[in-house]
Structure 1
Amino acid sequence: MKAIVTGATGAIGMEIARALAEKGHDLILACRSEKRGKDVERMIEMRYGIVPDIVSLDLSDPESVRRAAERIARCNPDILINNAGVMNPRFRIDDNGVEDTLNVNYHNTRLLTELLLPAINPGGCIVFTTSATRYWYPLQKLSENISSEEFGRLKTYALSKKLITRFAASLADDPSVKGRHIRVNCTDPGIVDTPMLSMGRWFDPLTDILFRPFCLKPATAARTAIKAAESDLSGYIFLSPCGKLSNRK
């Protein structure tokens, strides 16, 4: 089976790629940095004898998404794991006025999925990465963009995860997706020891001392994503560290 992992050079993405390679899957590593992608490629080839394909993907740029999707679609993948994500510390918009965290985590992740959906083999699976922060954003304020006045790093991240989780639920219920027996799930990695955990604030050193030792390891989060991909279920959220099921909202 052929699996795509976005954000494959990050801490969790690399562990997802490693776990898939260990199971014998052919891999497409979709990543922004080709150099870092090559590093992961070499590691997987040395350990597992599998040579992944590297595809350049910048989820902040819809044109990059379209180019990547066109290339990936030719491979007729079985598994798409949407792992890539950001939590930007500063307000930044694209040429269309859309905030960057929302672009990466929601708009362009959705675009990539919609472009690849016709090419995914029947019986395949799509996994989205969500977060418990989605509960922080009230439904009555749900919007697909955010202004500079409304922006906050965690607030915007929470909105992006609320939106992508709702999209995953709607996709799982789509009759055409069900008709092709494509499963759609989310994975909630929990609080993981990755660079994203750093808030860039004065309290980071204290956070590292008191909080980081209790965070989950990237490999634990990766195992949950693999469970979400391998499950016969569709329309669920798999929670780290044990892969426990949750509802879709």
Structure 2
Amino acid sequence: MTTALVTGATAGIGREFALQLAARGDDLVLVARDVARLEALAEELRTAHGVDVEVLGADLSARDQLGKVADRVASTDRPVDILVNNAGYSLKKRFLDNDVAAEEAVFDVLTRAVLVLSHAAGKAMRVRDRGAIVNVSSVASFMAAGPYSANKSFVTVFSEGLAAELAGSGVTVTALCPGFTHTEFHQRADVDMSKMPEFMWLDAPRLVRDALADVGKGKVVSVPGRRYKAIVTALRILPRPLVRRQSRGAHRPSPA
């Protein structure tokens, strides 16, 4: 039986990962701050799919609570076969208009938590010669659009480096880089996305299905949707000064 641990599991892409992993028969460890919502989701998944679901409440910006999750990921008695580092949020204001403590908290969730949990998972999985790490990044990681973009750039490049380190070990690492996705993400960030054209939006269930297919293939960078594949290709080949100019005013997050 496969066990998957999903952070940020109560909403958005994280919730969709939990739904699809449970539907295919995987046991789950669900991590988020809102324990009541976690318990409700856990009961829903147990009832619908007969899988074992463990709830682990944690604020990943707090080092002691992150350590608790890392210990669970590293467990040898109850091994985690799939780690989905999905937890994340954003701030509405520009960097210099935010309190630096708030920026540090986002940094800890988006980058430090990914590093710590990937380290715990990578070591444990390498010993067993199998496993998968999925780090939810963003199309914004290829841009130059403020701290969110920078944090997600770390996630993408870090995932690529870890994938190279684990090559041939039986453990895969995938950076999932979605664009705008219909979830609660922008509403919770209090960002008005009403002017974004519908063709730019991704469907969360389709996104996760495609992501899991890419994980199964061992793909290192997964970009859902043809339009976003084209955008990422362009961002990778355009001169960086032009990318920076195109990114002006896009300090708020693009994905999920």
Q: Is TM-score (shorter-chain normalized) higher than 0.5?
A: yes
Residue in 2 that maps onto 1:142 = none
In the alignment, residue 130 of structure 2 is paired with which amino acid? G
RMSD over aligned CA atoms reads 2.6
Match of 2:158 among 157, 167, 178: 167
Answer yes or no: is the 8 Å Cα contact 1:11–1:194 preserved in 2. Answer: yes
Per the TM alignment, residue 108 of structure 1 is displaced from its structure 2 partner at its CA by 1.9
Residue in 1 that maps onto 2:4 = 3
Distance 1:228 1:63, change over 3 A: farther
In the alignment, residue 214 of structure 2 is paired with which amino acid? A
Distance 1:223 1:211, change over 3 A: same
Match of 1:116 among 121, 133, 136: 121
Query: Is the aligned partner of 1:130 residue 2:137?
Result: yes
Per the TM alignment, residue 44 of structure 1 is displaced from its structure 2 partner at its CA by 0.5
Query: Is the aligned partner of 1:241 residue 2:244?
Result: no
Once the two structures are superposed, residues 19-56 of structure 1 have per-residue CA deviations (whole angstroms, 9 ceiling, x without a partner) of: 11111111111111111110110110121111311112
Q: Aligned to 1:45, what secondary structure does the other structure show?
A: helix
Residue in 2 that maps onto 1:219 = 205
Q: Aligned to 1:192, what secondary structure does the other structure show?
A: coil
Once the two structures are superposed, residues 97-122 of structure 1 have per-residue CA deviations (whole angstroms, 9 ceiling, x without a partner) of: 96222211111221121123222242
Query: Is the aligned partner of 1:183 residue 2:172?
Result: yes
Match of 1:196 among 178, 185, 195: 185
Distance 1:124 1:62, change over 3 A: same
Distance 1:64 1:213, change over 3 A: same
Distance 1:157 1:58, change over 3 A: same
Residue in 1 that maps onto 2:104 = 99
Once the two structures are superposed, residues 192-244 of structure 1 have per-residue CA deviations (whole angstroms, 9 ceiling, x without a partner) of: 0122224635xx2xx3366358522221222133223322x25x211213797
Residue in 2 that maps onto 1:53 = 54
**Counterparts of 2:229 and 2:21 in 1: how far apart (Å)?**
20
Query: Is the aligned partner of 1:83 residue 2:69?
Result: no
Distance 1:155 1:44, change over 3 A: same
In the alignment, residue 112 of structure 2 is paired with which amino acid? H
Answer yes or no: is the 8 Å Cα contact 1:189–1:224 preserved in 2. Answer: no
Distance 1:209 1:167, change over 3 A: closer
Give TM-score scaled by structure 1 length.
0.79
Distance 1:22 1:134, change over 3 A: same
Q: Which runs of 5+ in 1 are unaligned?
A: 138-153
Answer yes or no: is the 8 Å Cα contact 2:8–2:32 preserved in 1. Answer: yes
Residue in 1 that maps onto 2:241 = none
Q: Aligned to 1:184, what secondary structure does the other structure show?
A: strand
**Counterparts of 2:99 and 2:205 in 1: how far apart (Å)?**
31
Residue in 1 that maps onto 2:239 = none
Q: How many residues align?
A: 222
Same amino acid, percent of matched pairs: 25
Give TM-score scaled by structure 2 length.
0.77
The ranges of structure 1 where at least 4 consecutive aligned residues each deviate by more than 4 angstroms after the TM superposition are 242-247
Query: Is the aligned partner of 1:18 residue 2:7?
Result: no
Answer yes or no: is the 8 Å Cα contact 1:191–1:216 preserved in 2. Answer: yes
Residue in 1 that maps onto 2:216 = 230
Q: Which runs of 5+ in 2 are unaligned?
A: 237-256
**Counterparts of 1:212 and 1:87 in 2: how far apart (Å)?**
22
Residue in 2 that maps onto 1:144 = none
1:150-161 map, 5 Å: 155-161=146-152
